[in-house]
């Protein structure tokens, strides 16, 4: 592993830390906001979390002042380029709803298992513009080990 790859790996691990912290914070926010109406907590926690995301993104845009994308660049995007925001909202809602019920470790382990399984399929078939990276026995073994870890974290 070269130095650049190590830096990228550490940044990815830091993103994982952020996801675990986010799920735990949103789960606790859900509990505080639910009151007498259990269904209201996840919705408000997700909404307020996403408001924080919008605020941070707005501040970053104000500080960095990147040039806007061209009309051609916007028109050239495919439909699935636009699903990141809604998927992010679903992830926030899932974290706010499920982390208090499953625990942070089980929730994140299950999220990672889902990410890994989907990623292997995306890579194998080269979906969403990714280069084709065929599935191998080692990748299957890795996925099985992660799923085994989920079972250990949740049930043992």
Q: How far apart are CA 89 and CA 82, in angstroms?
A: 13
For 38-51, letters b (16+ CB in 10 Å) and e give: eeebbbbbbeebee
Q: Where are the alpha helices (DSSP H) in the chain?
A: 3-34, 40-64, 71-75, 84-102, 104-125, 137-155
Domain borders along the chain are 1-98, 103-156
Residue entry with tokens 């789960």: 27
Q: How confident is the model at residue 2 (pLDDT cuts 50, 70, 90)?
A: confident
Rounded to whole angstroms, the Cα distance separating 82 from 94 reads 20
- Per residue in 99-112, pLDDT tens? 988 888 888 888 88
Q: Is the pLDDT of residue 133 over 80?
A: yes
pTM of the model: 0.79
């Amino acid at each position: 592993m070269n130095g650049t790859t190590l830096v990228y790996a550490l940044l990815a691990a830091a993103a994982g830390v952020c996801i675990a912290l986010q799920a735990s914070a949103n789960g606790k926010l859900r509990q505080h906001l639910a009151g007498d109406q259990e269904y209201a907590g996840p919705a408000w926690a997700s909404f307020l979390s996403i408001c924080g995301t919008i605020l941070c993104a707005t501040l970053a845009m104000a500080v960095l002042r990147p040039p806007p994308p061209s009309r051609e660049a916007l028109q050239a995007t495919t439909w699935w380029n636009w699903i990141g925001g809604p998927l992010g909202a679903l992830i926030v809602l899932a974290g706010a709803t499920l982390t208090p019920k499953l625990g942070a470790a089980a929730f994140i382990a299950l999220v990672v298992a889902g990410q890994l399984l989907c990623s292997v399929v995306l890579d194998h078939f080269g979906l969403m513009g990714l280069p084709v990276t065929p599935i191998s026995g080692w990748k299957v073994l890795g996925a099985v080990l992660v799923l085994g870890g989920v079972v250990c974290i949740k049930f043992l």
